[in-house]
Amino acid sequence: MTKIVSRQLIDIDLDFNHKKEVIMHLASVLGKDGRLNDQEKFIQVVFAREDTLSTYIGNGIGIPHGKTDAVKEPSVAFVRTKNKIQWGDDENEIANMIFLIAVPEHAASNTHLKILATLSRRLMDENFRSELKSASSKEEVFEKLKFLNDSTQK
């Protein structure tokens, strides 16, 4: 089984102005890593989810996600942006750390919930968030996120 997160799925300090740009970039990262069957379909599913309800969770974090047969294997891509981006409808919903969760439709029904719950629990820790914000390399971020690779095994 491929790991949920890898160094290739992490970017830091990129310049974006809109959440759609971020989602499209992260989907492209997943696509280039061979984790998607259909990148455009995956993007449509994620946008539809965002249109239903914002995935802003507070503390500068957005967690867009999609569960579809356009995904080959459970994955999480991450970007820390230079700019703070309007993520939700409320003007205070500003994000610069975004995790894109991709899960196949045929995966265990709770796979995406396990990933989301594991990630959300860790993100509640102020020290953890601070470490992600101050990491100076993709390697440092990966070291902080590799706990996700065990999230569906529990």
Query: CB–CB of 71/103 below 8 Å?
Result: yes
Residue pair 39/31 in contact (Cβ under 8 Å)? The answer is yes
Amino acid at 52: T
Most distant pair of Cα atoms in the chain: their distance:
40
Distance CA 117, CA 67 (A): 15
Q: Which of 18, 65, 106, 112 is catalytic?
A: 65
Determine the Cα angle at 48 with ends 94 and 65, to 5°.
65
Cβ atoms of residues 92 and 109 within 8 Å: no
Active-site residue, 65 included = yes
CA atoms within 13 A on the CB side of 57: 18
Calpha distance 133→46 (Å, rounded): 24
Residues marked active site are found at 65
